[in-house]
Structure 1
């Protein structure tokens, strides 16, 4: 039997790495995901939106899997523009959680114990990035996805 959760956040699939972005309202979750998608595509990485605003997460026999609620599939909100369609992945394995926060809340060299978060009882790698800094955050996320791809070999 699987366990499920519905969280406030956005998610993308970059080169096989499923990334969940969390943060308060107007912290730049959608902007970070959109910037990450564009940077990944420019580097030739397969990339797609998983979900924007609400992310369904299910724990199954092979780990955590993210997807979008049916009404939100393939849609992303661009602040000042509105809701637009985006290439979407039906689902993605959750490999990385990004928490957007104030820059002074980010440790320069986080302790290993702070490098993961438990979701539905399963530990997932965690990074903290500054809110409202989509360009920098996108570069970090694409770099992590490239490292994951190289490690997978």
Structure 2
């Protein structure tokens, strides 16, 4: 059964899976989404965690049973852009349930973000969100946010 159109969309974002959690990484073209995704996956693997890239550049989102499921766009599944090299073929995960959204920006985020800034609604599903400057080391913060360790920081 296919979800209604209001419950699905394709977004300009990459998606990774770490453990059981999908992390959607959004940002403008050239903001470092792909680089951040590769670095977070590399760091997670070095720490002995399951991790993989679901999608690069464009991600298909669909609400299912109160969760947001991310999948690669079929025509570009398994392809990644590496700056200075071009498009390369790579392994990928078929899907992930999104538990965190990271929004990248060239500018530093608010030092004390409003509570509303710590959440975002996609396809009708409310998700935790972190705003971060391009290049920020995010694996520990992302993992802590998913486990509740950084709730006070993320929801100030």
How many angstroms does 1:22 deviate by?
0.6
Count of aligned residue pairs for this structure pair: 144
Aligned match for 2:39, one of 24, 30, 35: 35
How many angstroms does 1:99 deviate by?
0.5
> What is the alpha-carbon distance in structure 2 between the residues aligned to residue 32 and residue 5 of structure 1?
23
Q: Is the 8 A contact 1:49 1:86 kept in 2?
A: no
Q: Please give the TM-score of this superposition, normalised by the length of structure 2.
A: 0.84
| Pair 1:50-2:51 in alignment | no
How many angstroms does 1:138 deviate by?
4.1
| Pair 1:92-2:96 in alignment | yes
How many angstroms does 1:88 deviate by?
1.5
Gap regions ≥5 residues in structure 1:
149-153
| Pair 1:118-2:121 in alignment | yes
Aligned CA-pair RMSD: 1.8
Deviations along 1:17-50, one digit per CA (max 9) or x if unpaired, are 1000111110000000000110011001000111
Give secondary structure in 2 for the equivalent of 1:103: coil
Q: Please give the TM-score of this superposition, normalised by the length of structure 1.
A: 0.85
How many angstroms does 1:113 deviate by?
1.9
| Pair 1:68-2:72 in alignment | yes
Gap regions ≥5 residues in structure 2:
149-156
Q: 1:75 to 1:138 in 2, by over 3 A?
A: farther
1:151 counterpart residue number: none
